[in-house]
Each structure stands twice: as C-alpha cells, then as structure tokens.
Amino acid sequence: MKVLMKKDLKKVGKKGEVVEVSDGYGANYVIPQGYGVLFTEQAKKAYAKEVEIEKQEEAKRVLEAQKLAEKLKGIVLEFEAPAGRRGEMIGNISFKEIAETLKKKYDIVVDKKMLVEKNVLVNGFGKTSLKLELHKGVFGDVNIHVSLREKK
C-alpha cells in the first residue's frame, strides 16, 4: 500500500514522502492515526494545496515578526531602581517585569523563550538591550533604561 505521509513517523517516513507500507499497518495504524493518507492523485493535489497554504501562512508570520522588530526599535522601556551605599543598583529588573510593561504600555506580547541569551540580567543603571528571536531567523531588540529612584 502506498501512503502519502502527513506527519513524520519514526522508521516509516517523513512528512510529504510517499512510502510503501504493508496493507494491515497502513489501514490499521498509519491512516487512522493521521500520519498519512492513501496515495492517489487527488491526495497528492490536496497535499500540494496544503503545503502552499502553509507557505503563505509562514510568510505572513515572518512579516508580522519583522513589523514587531521594527516597532521594538523605537521603544525604550523606563524603569527606576534604588541604589545601595556604593551607588550600584539593588536587585535587578526581571524579564517578567519587562514583558508586563511591554504588554501594558504597547500591547506587545513577548515570551521568555524568545530570549536569545538566557542568562542576561538587567542589574545596573543605564541602557541595556535584550535580543529576542521573534520568529525563526527574525530578531528584535528590547531597549531598557534603568534610572536611580529618588528618595523621598
């Protein structure tokens, strides 16, 4: 039985391949579990259409990520923090605070998983930039400025 794979299946085939499987395996596992469909010209055309739609959606997501990267260029997030006796910043600005501020002020949603360098801390006064991977291959920078909190 020839099967057009819709998903990767270990030791059988990858998505988009036409593979030969035993009739029982194909009819009882591969097709019912959604890993593939019986290979016909109609199935081949339907798969080609699906691939085309996926490409268009992917291009749309890349374009949105590029627009977001441009939007982030013009944004500088302002934070205030107290200073210790020697003048250095006490504590640090967490990514959670940064994400909440972006959401509140600019309606931009970012996730910690987007951080390129996972161990970067905002723990000093002045400007800092965090690099985010907004989409595969599309990067943006979140600019942060931390100033001294005035004592009352």
Confidence of residue 135 (pLDDT cuts 50, 70, 90): very high
Q: What is the pTM of this model?
A: 0.73
Contacts of 18 (CB under 8 A, 6+ apart): 2, 3, 4, 5, 39
User: Is residue 82 exposed (0-12), middle (13-18) or buried (19+ Cβ within 10 Å)?
Assistant: exposed
The domain made up of 2-63 is a member of CATH 3.40.5.10:
yes
Is the CATH number 3.10.430.100 carried by domain 66-148? yes
Give the pLDDT of residue 133: 94
Give the residue extent of every domain in the chain.
2-63, 66-148
User: For 30-67, what is each residue's pLDDT tens digit?
Assistant: 999 999 999 999 999 999 999 999 999 999 999 999 99
Q: How far apart are CA 131 and CA 142, in angstroms?
A: 7
Average pLDDT rounded to a whole number, residues 113-139: 89
Give Dmax (Cα) for the chain.
80
The answer on pLDDT for 152 being more than 70 is: no
